[in-house]
Amino acid sequence: MTKNIIKEINTLKKERNAVILAHYYTRPEVQDIADFVGDSLALAQQAAQTNADVILFAGVHFMAETAKILSPEKIVLIPDPEAGCSLADSCSAKEFKEFKRLHPNHLVISYVNTSADVKALTDICCTSSNALRIVENIPVEQPIIFAPDRNLGGYIKSITGRENMVLWDGACSVHEEFSIEKILELKKVHPAAKIVAHPECRAYILEIADFIGSTAAILEYCKDSLDDEFIVVTESGILHKLRLQSPLKSFIPAPPLDSTCGCNDCAYMKLVTLDKIRNSLLTLSPQVHVDSQIAKDAIRSIEAMLKS
Ligand code: 13P
Ligand code: SF4
């Protein structure tokens, strides 16, 4: 059955001249059929340079929206339009406009995990892979608004010591949910394991981490490390690639506070299934659309990131 769907997807992909871009948080079988799997930064870079006529985004809505802003002439498909993002939802454009008004003369750096409307109010976008470098490249006397993730923002503030950086009070519900008690219990059972954590986690989790990095940085660290056991404090989809690239190493998912299951899933990312991908390529729907004026304003901040 799965074999048939994969065959159909591959045929449709050729007929449509389509490319499938997938985030590392999607289901393993989705990552396996994608033309490119990456973190948020790599996916934005791919979306900007593909020659395909159709981009199918196996990820969440803000990622597909970014692809559409970068390639307005292309058809951009999102297999399940309900695949949103709690972090993007924590920052409405209306409230953000008011926040900007209260902080005049601030340069606005926003995570790509935002709506197109918020990107249109932003000077430079960033992802967890490049946020530190982007902030460090801004002259120290320039005040900054950093949005929407308070944990990533707080982490960068703690490294750079930038007091003139104000943070929007948003967060990712997946990364905020990890239980420090359960991680410390795991560490007792696996004392040699290194704790690797995404900077969207709370500060008290980052304090006990041996390594803090974006999805791509965690993958690289675990591949190159001489250690062979890791407690992974980020979304569980990353385990697929971690295990593929280092089959002899052991990766233990960190558990969330409020669950009997051992790992922490982003329910939005998991909405993308092979069935939905096949249907989306077949019907060329649902498509992502962005208002042309919003897209015109938003593209400046995305291109500023891609050029940086
Ligand atoms: P990165 O892909 O930048 O690591 O971000 C993680 C994330 O939460 C994506 O939604
Ligand atoms: Fe959004 Fe968090 Fe899911 Fe990433 S993991 S898509 S930030 S809700």
Name the residue with the closest Cα to ligand 1, atom 7. 40
In angstroms, the Cα distances linking 19 to 27, 75, 241, 266 are 17, 11, 20, 23
Does 40 sit in the ligand 1 pocket, CB within 6 Å? yes
Domain limits of the chain?
Answer: 2-83+269-289, 87-171+297-307, 178-253
Which pTM value belongs to this model?
0.95
Q: What is the pLDDT of residue 262?
A: 57
Does 85 sit in the ligand 2 pocket, CB within 6 Å? yes
Rounded distance from Cα 15 to ligand 1 centre (Å): 31
Rounded distance from Cα 198 to ligand 1 centre (Å): 8
**In this structure, CATH architecture of domain 2-83+269-289:** 3-Layer(aba) Sandwich (3.40)
Q: What is the pLDDT of residue 143?
A: 98
User: Do 222 and 249 meet the contact criterion of CB atoms below 8 Å apart?
Assistant: yes
* pLDDT average per 10 residues of sequence, the chain (308 residues): 91 97 97 96 90 96 95 96 96 98 98 96 96 96 98 96 97 93 95 97 97 97 98 96 98 81 83 98 98 96 93
Domain 178-253 coded CATH 3.30.1540.20? no
The number of CA neighbours under 13 Å toward the Cβ of 288 is 33
Q: Which ligand 2 atom sits closest to the C-alpha of 200? A: 7
Does 149 sit in the ligand 2 pocket, CB within 6 Å? no
Q: Which ligand 2 atom sits closest to the C-alpha of 25? A: 5
Does 236 sit in the ligand 2 pocket, CB within 6 Å? no
- Ligand with minimal distance to 128 CA: 1
Q: What is the pLDDT of residue 26?
A: 97
Rounded distance from Cα 140 to ligand 2 centre (Å): 30
Token digits of residue 8? 């159909």
In angstroms, the Cα distances linking 268 to 29, 78, 254, 261, 273 are 16, 12, 19, 17, 11
Q: What is the pLDDT of residue 1?
A: 67
Handedness of CA 116, 102, 138, 136 (dihedral sign): negative
Handedness of CA 25, 26, 30, 36 (dihedral sign): negative
Does 39 sit in the ligand 2 pocket, CB within 6 Å? no
Does 91 sit in the ligand 2 pocket, CB within 6 Å? no
**In this structure, CATH architecture of domain 87-171+297-307:** 3-Layer(aba) Sandwich (3.40)
Does 127 sit in the ligand 1 pocket, CB within 6 Å? yes
Does 86 sit in the ligand 2 pocket, CB within 6 Å? yes
User: Do 305 and 130 meet the contact criterion of CB atoms below 8 Å apart?
Assistant: yes
**Closest to 222 (Cα-Cα) out of 208, 204, 210, 237:** 210
In angstroms, the Cα distances linking 123 to 83, 94, 106, 194, 302 are 26, 17, 10, 37, 9
The number of CA neighbours under 13 Å toward the Cβ of 213 is 15
Topology match between the domains 87-171+297-307 and 178-253: yes
Q: Which ligand 1 atom sits closest to the C-alpha of 172? A: 8
User: Do 147 and 167 meet the contact criterion of CB atoms below 8 Å apart?
Assistant: yes
Count of Cβ atoms closer than 10 Å to residue 116 Cβ? 23
Residue with tokens 């299951």: 261
Rounded distance from Cα 40 to ligand 1 centre (Å): 5
